[in-house]
Structure 1
Amino acid sequence: MKAIGFKKSLPINEAESFIEFEKEIVPPTGHDILVKIEAISINPVDYKIRQGAAKDNILNEPKIIGWDAVGTVEEIGDKAMLFKKGDHVFYAGDITKDGSNQEYQLVDERIVGFAPKKISVAEAAAMPLTALTAYEILFDRLRLDPEKDKGKSILIIGGAGGVGSVAIQLAKNILGLHVIATASRPDTIEWCKKLGADSVVNHKDLVNEVRNTGFDSVDIIVDFVDVNQYWDAMVALIKPQGKIGSISDPTEQVNLRQLKGKSVSFHWELMFTRSMFQTDDMIEQHHILNKIAQLFDARTLQSTLNTTIEGFTADNLKEAHRLLESGKTIGKVVLKF
């Protein structure tokens, strides 16, 4: 089968930033299933790993990345019980294993869900990683509940990004929160409003911008951009006994002591935690993806697909990475096989 990977971390315009090669199809064992992939999407984690995984040395074998896919189950392992051959599935995968930039992929069934039936393959491929991340931070980490939290305020930093775009919809349509999202360009402001944000504020003067919407402080803050950059603003804006969650990677220490006076809780989210550590509740990602699929089919959530590239080639994958690295994309970029 064809796979696309890299042996050296190179700028995306370099000829060998991605290379095509042939790889053997390995039959599944244990909880693994073998999926014939139909479409993948690209996330910031893809280009960050491509830029850093082989910075100082050339790898012996090409590294295969990619953490979003839709496809059909071809075979199942001896312990797999959730799926059968022919099932249509979607998933984000496991960062410790080969990714989805290949024609067939082995993936643990416990982190796989049944694909939505009423949206296109490309629309479904755009969603697993961002939807899982947004769902987990709101429901598993912050433990928000539509009955007890309805009507509360939430500030979403990075509203137009992949995770923010799903978080806006979940916060508004499922939790019933008053949503304030950050965006700065006319097109990203419009995108956030279209997804359900009640107010859109500029991140460059966050405290004053939020307060100009009529909220002196907010109940919940989620950061999808840079916890260091917005830390002081979050400390100032969070209500006493409020909750803050983040997915970003701090480059400097975060002073949690600043939250003590208000008894504010802080929560990290990494979508790969369950698969990396084979947690006891690893199968929860299977259940979440099934819930997410139902929400798409019910039109409660809309896919954030914005760009579709046809054809599984190294050049097309380079183009997808180039688009994402520009920092100007809205919504998701999908590659159809």
Structure 2
Amino acid sequence: MFLMRLKGEISLRNEEEKENDRNPQQQQLYAISAAGFPPQQKLVVGYALTSKKAKSFLQPKLEGLARKKGILFVAIDHNRPLSDQGPFDIVLHKLSGKEWRQILEDYRLKHPEVTVLDPPDAIQHVHNRQSMLQDVADLNLSDCYGKVGVPRQLVITKDPSSIPDAVTKAGLTLPLVAKPLVVDGSAKSHELSLAYDQFALSKLDPPLVLQEFVNHGGLLFKVYIVGEAIKVVRRFSLPDVNKHELLNNGGVYQFPRVSCAAACADGADLDPSVAELPPRPLLERLAKELRRKLGLRLFNLDIIRELGTRDRFYVIDINYFPGYGKMPEYEHIFTDFLLSLVQGNYKRRPVNNS
């Protein structure tokens, strides 16, 4: 009996030593396996997110549902080579910087069997407000359900004093919405200003994009896209500007980031002509075309409807890997999407616990 107990204690100590020798990812994988996680269903998703993004996205309800569906989220260790980690079936990321983009590109070449969401070059394309909306403009999308375009806009990279002349030559109509040209994830890149007069234009800070302001009933439609799934949420937006206000206001007015500060408008007492969602077939066609052109599967569109119309829409912004935690039913939509990426051809990879 003593020998049996001694063997048991030695075996337990050996297992504890192995556990301590494992890196954090191996410990997490081992713990899930020991807890009875169904190995035949295990889908390992490595994630590289900022702490803020991880907190908003990896909510307990999502992780709980993911476990039930056989999906395991594993944090990527930034202090170790990416190729030494995993193995992963999917890499989910939203980090900035040339170094990180190069790491991901190298990883994609060495591990073509891993799905990277999304390709770094494609993400970089929507970090520039000129290039992101040009893809929408090039679509020239118009059918029986409506027309989708972008506001007339002008890119300014030179000295602020040149802005009034540039706006006049371009024939843009005041007021103008001013947004930083580059979207780099910083608070500054999401600043929003409204310039009412020519004099105010010279007070702006290039590089930036100037967009003609389109009255839209103070409401925008945030269209979340997860693969082929589409979810639309109403959000309050900037108020309309009438001729009286335009004549009696001047200067530049700064606003908070609309997508973060605005409250959800679903269920609010709104004018039906303003609150009516864009036609589903129009959104499906738009999403399909942009997935193809952008090469992205995780993004959202900020869309407005021109006031006084039912079928005239404008895309005013595109965001990669937006705040899905604010999207209704995102837990089910996202986990279904992850499973769909490997459905039918997923082969379980052995986990190295040594």
Query: Does TM, normalized by the shorter one, top 0.5?
Result: no
Considering only CA atoms, is the larger Rg found in Structure 1 or Structure 2?
2
